[in-house]
Structure 1
Amino acid sequence: MMKNLFSVIALVASSWAMAAGPAVHLDKAPIDLMDKASLQHGAKLFQNYCLGCHQMQYQRYSRTFRDLDIPEDVGVENLMFTGKKVGDHIKNNMATKDAEKWFGAAPPDLTNVARVRGPDWLYTYLRSFYADPARPFGVNNDVFPMVGMPHVLQELQGMPYKAYETRLVDGESKQVYVGIKTDGTGELSAEEYDRAVADLVNYLEYVGEPTKLESRALGIKVMVFLLIFFVLAYLLKKEYWKDVH
């Protein structure tokens, strides 16, 4: 009985491992939730390039504007394109049936994607698209093979492709994969694109747990208070004990 149970567990575990695919090195995402400029730029990128398909049904515009120090009139003019109200959640107007017809499945809500996938996964994923004419949208992804979405940031990055170089390996000339490069048609340089992706992931990390901003701000205040208290306590201790010595 126990032997059969262990066999089932092993079979399920191996199935999960196969479904997860081969391990991929993940680059460290430069997350900085105190960088308001980065968060604001990330919000702009999401609204312009992601909201057409993906939603944030648990995040409100008003909360975003308040947390990221975006004046309401500026936010309404530059970040709200779907006729929503400031107090509404960040949703698009795509019908679920249309999404399933176009993409095969409705694009997932991204409110908690950074908590589910992790910022390093997102940062690497958005920088791992490459041209693949065999795919429906003409691209594939090293982190998420057979991905079913287009490369929405292609306008910024250009068309990425897998680059190979001829190198001498064990005395023989072989084609060696050296990474993903672009055709140079993007609006941004490679460094600028990486920075833009970092800002977008930074924003997704914030949306996954908005209270982190408040917690960190409160933590800094607490540390300052403790430092001042320590100095006062030390001076008071010296005053009390000066006559003893």
Structure 2
Amino acid sequence: MTLISRATVFAAAMLLSFSALAAAGGPVQHAGTDLSDKASLQRGAQLFMNYCSSCHSLKYLRYSRMAEDLGLTEDEVMENLNFTGAKFGEQILTAMPAEGAAKWFGTAPPDLSLTSRVRGGDWIYSYLKSFYIDEERPLGWNNTVFPNASMPNVLWELQGVQRPVYGGVDEATSEPLIDRLEIATPGSLDAAKFDQAARDITAFLEYAGEPIAIKRQSIGVWVMLFLAFFTFLAWLLKKEYWKDVH
């Protein structure tokens, strides 16, 4: 098998695997995050620390690095984003004991440092928006993107309570299919504002997964400009060398 054909087979397999995952977990929406928007990253950090960090850690990110990248002072971080008593240069860890978490949730909540690199920003954004009330689940919540997730909807006060609207039946399992989710009890934010909140959290997790991405993207623009300028100089040099060749 040639290298090209192997690459084609691999790409096709990856595409089929992704399609199967998307079909099994429900539709994925486009997040539309912008890592150059520091205001969005700051809001995402605030939302994550207030609603998610009690269970989930970011062990590959330090408070000091987050402050530097997001344009925050040490006082702002320690007073508003640090709830564990950790030092400024320490990692962002959760105060929840692993044994207690496993007992309460069935398994310890995972570290989210690399979630965006594994799942992608669109998946995180869609997951945050796709919780619905389900009395049959131990914690009373389910999710269309990640069915039977053990995590409760920690953002329900912002989003409100969603209930499923069924349409059709799954031919394989004979179970009703969820057509869409609709708000049964409104939250403190309307749909547009909650979408922005979910987008901000997603952007922050994308940043946490690759903190260098912000600087890499800014440097990338200058690299492309340099390459374009160098290409132009090379063209002028080639033209000069070959001007007397017929």
TM-score by length of 1: 0.78
Report Cα offsets for 1:103-144 as digits up to 9, x if no partner: 010000000011111111111111111111111111111111
State how 1:33-72 maps to structure 2 within 5 Å.
33-72=35-74
The separation in 1 between residues aligned to 2:26 and 2:132, in whole angstroms, is 15
Aligned AA for 1:204? Answer: L
- Structure 1 residue runs of 4 or more that deviate by more than 4 Å after TM superposition: 175-178, 223-231
The separation in 1 between residues aligned to 2:180 and 2:152, in whole angstroms, is 20
The separation in 2 between residues aligned to 1:196 and 1:207, in whole angstroms, is 17
What secondary structure does 1:194 align onto?
helix
Q: Where does the alignment leave 5 or more consecutive residues of structure 1 unmatched?
A: 1-15, 166-174, 241-245
Aligned AA for 1:84? Answer: A
Match of 1:147 in 2: 149
What secondary structure does 1:163 align onto?
strand
The separation in 2 between residues aligned to 1:187 and 1:176, in whole angstroms, is 29
CA apart distance, 1:228: 7.1
- C-alpha spacing 1:224/1:70, structure 2 compared with 1 (3 Å): farther
Give the superposed CA RMSD. Answer: 2.9
8 Å contact from structure 2 (residues 25, 146) kept in 1 = no
Q: Where does the alignment leave 5 or more consecutive residues of structure 2 unmatched?
A: 1-16, 168-175, 241-246
Report Cα offsets for 1:128-169 as digits up to 9, x if no partner: 11111111111111111111111010011011111369xxxx
Match of 1:127 in 2: 129
TM-score by length of 2: 0.77
The separation in 2 between residues aligned to 1:70 and 1:79, in whole angstroms, is 10
The separation in 2 between residues aligned to 1:68 and 1:119, in whole angstroms, is 19
CA apart distance, 1:185: 3.1
The separation in 2 between residues aligned to 1:60 and 1:218, in whole angstroms, is 23
CA apart distance, 1:85: 0.7
Report Cα offsets for 1:1-23 as digits up to 9, x if no partner: xxxxxxxxxxxxxxx99x95725
Match of 2:83 in 1: 81
Match of 1:192 in 2: 193
The separation in 1 between residues aligned to 2:62 and 2:49, in whole angstroms, is 13
Match of 1:9 in 2: none
Q: Does 1:105 align with 2:107?
A: yes
The separation in 2 between residues aligned to 1:77 and 1:23, in whole angstroms, is 38
Aligned AA for 1:77? Answer: E
Report Cα offsets for 1:54-105 as digits up to 9, x if no partner: 0011110011110111122111111111101110100011111101100010
Q: Which structure has the larger Rg over C-alpha atoms?
A: 1
Identity %: 46
What secondary structure does 2:24 align onto?
coil
